[in-house]
Amino acid sequence: MNPALRSRRLRFGLFVLDTRRVELLRDGVVVPLRPKPFALLTMLASNPGTVLRREELFAAIWPGAVVSDDSLTQAVREVRVALGDAGAALLRTVARHGYRFDAEVVASGPVPAGDPAPPARVESPDAAAPRMSLVVLPLDVVAGSDSGDWFCDPMTGDLTMDLGKVSGMFVISRETAFSYKDRQVDPRAVARELNVRYVVRGSVGRKGSEVWLNMALIGGETGRQQWAERFDLDLADLPRSLREVTGVVSRSLGVEVYRAEGQRTATLRPEQVQADDLAMKGWAVWLRGLSPENTFEALRLFEEAVARDPDSLRGWSGVGMMNAHAANYGWVADPAPARARQREALHQMERIDSEDMLTCFARTDPYYRRQDFSGLLQFAQTLIERFPNHPWSHHQHASALMRLGRFDECIDPVRRALRLGPRDTLRPVVRGMAMFCHFAAGRFADSVAEARTSLRERPTQAGSQMMLAAALAHDGQLEEAQQIVRENQGRPLFRLQSIQRLFDGTDPRLVQAREQLFATLKRLDVP
């Protein structure tokens, strides 16, 4: 180790790496770490943002010794375990190159004389907070409410844990957040103290069997409220739904943070726009809604992101998803290049981080290409086990059941996906599965109700208009069905081609329902 490091304390997030005392501390508590993993962490933290090659690490940590690659792999694993939920995000594998430490590091402590160039890349004490960083402050009890800490404290902990699973999110630990319990604090001061970009505040109230949860996302620099919402619950359903509500809130907060980051990067000068900024801006565009315009604008930003940084996981995720939607909805004349690019994106994501949530969700694509919906059903169960509060897990579960002709079973995972994803761009697609499954089961009134609900949420969705017209025709409301078709004639997306790929599969029950739907739409003169 360089002597300049022995009297340094390297601070990142909740951690302090004391290289003089050879200790890693989290919130002042020592985290056990063996000597070789400690040396690895010190070297990486001393050079944040720099890819250190495996050869460099072997030479520095095992000088003169002959050791296998497994020794370094095991040391990396121990460091990630020591860093807890943030480990995989902080210590990143750069395929075929080495490892990179992704954190803002502040170095302090005396530097020995005669060493003018210490290896630590020192950030100023006012270094910008990490992107996608936040703290969930302990929830308050609404004055005069019947609620209490029995509800607030578990909800705070669950929100913190679930938000920590959002790809790329850095969340302050529950224990640190609870140091602010029962204190009147300025969110800007909290953000400065913890070096985070966002502060989440909320309150819980209860009257009789009614329980409500108020949540707000506050910008740490300005103190301005960027998002707020109230969630209403039924006390009788609370034991079953508490985790689900946590998922809804964490997903909503995750979406709002993505939007806020995208808006922030939109104000940067061209020379400031780097790969991750471009990827965040791409996701912000995508969150405007499902449309060809948003898809292709977001794709342009994602492609530029991966061109600047081939290791941008967020960028490759966007490249894969946007190409998938362009091909699925017939928004490109030839879907083959889009499918090939989608496969390339998954390959790159596997290379960068095979265990990231975004990579796991992207693995569903091969099942669709092979028409292996029994395999997709099994994989969806794995996704639900790993990410139970993410709507995409239940989306894939519902999609597999629908394509296997199990229409009645499909409705429950659809409901869960809709409850967990109130702001998801793919919400109309999930709602469309419910419409189709009710239609396929002969429950045309239920299909009509789902379509009307979808159109209240997204009035311009051509797919929902088509499903509504078909269900109305079978429900004895032919005049209204014909009126819908007349009003939508000429719209580019009001065509059978726009939805026919959404109901692919070979199960006889699915084929029969699909043929019935398309025959009905053709009789109504849908082009």
Domain hosting residue 194, numbered range: 133-260
Among the residues of 329-474, which ranges form H helices?
335-352, 357-362, 365-370, 373-386, 391-403, 407-420, 427-440, 444-457, 462-474
Cβ–Cβ under 8 Å, residues 244 and 230: no
* pLDDT given for residue 240 in this prediction: 54
- Flag whether 527 is in a domain: yes
| Residue corresponding to tokens 């109305």 | 472
Asked if residues 301 and 281 have their Cβ atoms less than 8 Å apart, the reply is: yes
How crowded is residue 208: how many other Cβ atoms within 10 Å of its Cβ? 7
Residues in the chain where the model's pLDDT stays below 50? 1-7, 110-127
Question: Do residues 409 and 353 both lie within one domain?
Answer: no
Length of the chain, in residues: 527
**Domain tally for the chain?**
4
Q: Render pLDDT for 433-467 as a digit per residue (tens, 0 to 9).
A: 999 999 999 999 999 999 999 998 888 888 899 99
Q: Are 321 and 358 in contact (CB under 8 A)?
A: no
Query: Which residue shows structure tokens 């001393």?
Result: 46
Q: What is the structure's pLDDT at 121?
A: 34
Is the same domain home to 157 and 82?
no
The letter for the amino acid at 485 is V
pLDDT at 6: 45
Does residue 248 share a domain with residue 142? yes
Q: Are residues 352 and 447 in the same domain?
A: no
Helix (H) or strand (E) holding 510: helix 508-523
φ/ψ (deg, to 5) at 491: -70, 130
Q: Are 8 and 122 in contact (CB under 8 A)?
A: no
Does one domain contain both 144 and 239? yes
Helix (H) or strand (E) holding 17: strand 15-18
Residue at 96 is within a domain: yes
pTM of the predicted structure, to 2 decimals: 0.62
Q: Is the dihedral of CA 65, 69, 70, 71 positive or negative?
A: positive
Residue 195 lies in a domain: yes
Pair 325, 341 in one domain: yes
Closest CA to 90 of 52, 54, 135, 41: 41
Predicted confidence at residue 7, as pLDDT, reads: 44
Query: Rounded to whole angstroms, how far apart are CA atoms 204 and 175?
Result: 20
Task: Please indicate, yes or no, if residue 118 is contained in any of the structural domains.
Answer: no
User: What's the pLDDT score for residue 524?
Assistant: 94
d(Cα 375, Cα 361) in Å, to the nearest integer? 14
Phi-psi region at 65: left, alpha or beta (left = phi > 0; alpha = psi -120 to 50): beta
Q: What integer best gives the mean pLDDT of the chain? A: 81
Q: Please indicate, yes or no, if residue 116 is contained in any of the structural domains.
A: no
The answer to whether position 124 is within a domain reads: no
- pLDDT, position 184: 84
Rounded CA gap, 45 and 200, in Å?
28
Where a domain ends, among 260, 275, 310?
Answer: 260
Question: Which CATH number fits the domain that encloses residue 142?
Answer: 3.40.50.10610
Tokens for 131, please give them: 């992107």
- 303 & 229 share domain: no
Phi/psi of residue 32, each to 5°? -60, 135
Q: Give the number of C-alpha atoms closer than 13 A to the C-alpha of residue 182, restricted to the C-beta side.
A: 3
Among candidate residues 363, 379, 412, the one where a domain is terminated = 363
Q: Are 433 and 421 in contact (CB under 8 A)?
A: no
Q: How many CA atoms lie within 13 A of 1 on its CB side?
A: 21
Question: Is residue 373 assigned to a domain?
Answer: no
Q: Which residues contact 468 (CB under 8 A, 6 or more apart)?
A: 435, 448, 451, 452, 455, 481, 484
Do 475 and 439 share a structural domain?
yes
Q: How far apart are CA 220 and CA 399, in angstroms?
A: 39
Domain end, chosen from 223, 241, 260, is at 260
- Are 466 and 504 within one domain? yes
Residues 407 and 523 in one domain: yes
CATH code, 27: 1.10.10.10
* Structure tokens given for 132: 């996608």
350/323 same-domain check: yes
| Residues facing residue 218 across a β-bridge | 199, 225
CATH code for position 281: 1.25.40
pLDDT tens sequence across 264-298: 666 655 555 577 778 878 887 887 788 899 999 99
Q: Quick one: three-class SS letters along 165-221?
A: CCCCCEECCHHHHHHHCCCCCCHHHHHHHHCCCEEEEEEEEEECCEEEEEEEEEECC
* Closest CA relative to residue 192, chosen from 254, 127, 264, 265: 127
> Same domain for 462 and 526?
yes
Q: Is residue 121 part of a domain?
A: no
25: left (phi over 0), alpha (psi -120 to 50) or beta: beta
The angle at the Cα of 423, spanning 421 to 426, to the nearest 5 degrees, equals 75
